[in-house]
Each structure stands twice: as structure tokens, then as C-alpha cells.
Amino acid sequence: MAFLKTFWSEDYHYYSSQSVPALRADIKALMEQPWSWDMHPRGYFIGEDVFHLSHQFAFKGGHFLGNTSDLTGQIFPGQQRTIVRFSVRPNPVFAFFFFLTLLFLPFIITGTGMEGNSSLVARIVLSCLCPIIPFAYAYFAKHNLKDRFISIFQLFPLSEEEDTY
């Protein structure tokens, strides 16, 4: 069931060759850019070195809808480099629709409540595709935000020995 971690928050530990003030200034500069079609993440600082980023495109609606994925991170001064710890999670609506489609799979496969002559093959294909759509969207929204953040700020993975914070 390791594939289900797609729906939960994952923690990452990276480092930057920039100083803490320089990296903070770069993150602030990204956040202050005007809206455009460039797909850069947008966000805000929660404290001095704690920040929140998300995709600039979001679902519109109530409390349950919103950003497709969220990244919350913190900047630490390291011994020789700047440590960046962050977590990324997709919108919970993806998990909701994934499990909702799994709940209705028996009805789709058996054809209960369906009118007409829907073939068994069509029902099986539909039952396989329905859960894949929210799963794939959650996976790609989460990894796109993480990869975008890493590439914009040129971060490198932190080894286990270096991660003392």
C-alpha cells in the first residue's frame, strides 16, 4: 500500500549553496512576482524562515477545495550550507474522490443501478479508470510543486549524515 503515500504529506531535506538571507530574499522575490502564466509557485512567509508555497492555479469552491498541492518549508543555517526542510501534500479532495470511486466499484462492475445494456468490458474499464484519475492528479500535482521548487532554487538532496537539524 505504499502507493497511498501519494495522498499524504512527505518530508524532504535539501541544501542550498546560498546563504540563509540570500535564499530568503530569492523566495520572497518569487512570491512578490505578479501573476503570469509561468507556473511558478506562489506563497507567503509564516515567520522569519518558515514559508508556504502552492501552485498559482487552484480549484474554486468551499473549504475542501483550494490549491492542488501545498509546500511548507523552513530554512536553517547549516555548518557550511543552508538547510531547507519542506513537506509537500496534495489537496485532500483527491484522496476523497479516490476512495469514493473505490467505494462505488462493486456497483460499477455488477451494473447495479445501471440501466441499459452496458457491457462487462466497459464496466471493468470504467472501474479501472475512475480511481486512476484522482490518484494521478494528486501524484503529479504534488511532485510538480516539489520538482519546481527544487529547480527554481537549485537545491540538492541532503545526505542522512548531514541532516542533524
Give the per-residue pLDDT at 43: 86
Report pLDDT digits (tens) over 48-66.
889 998 876 655 555 555 6
Cα distance between residue 82 and residue 155, in whole Å: 10
Is residue 106's pLDDT more than 60?
yes
In the structure, what pLDDT confidence band is assigned to residue 146 with cuts at 50, 70 and 90? Answer: very high
CB atoms < 10 A from the CB of 119, how many?
Answer: 9
Cα distance between residue 1 and residue 14, in whole Å: 26
Q: Of 13-22, 57-66, 97-106, which one has max mean pLDDT?
A: 13-22
Q: What are phi and psi of 89, to 5 degrees?
A: -140, 145
Q: What is the pTM of this model?
A: 0.77
Q: Is 15 in contact with 158 (CB distance < 8 Å)?
A: yes
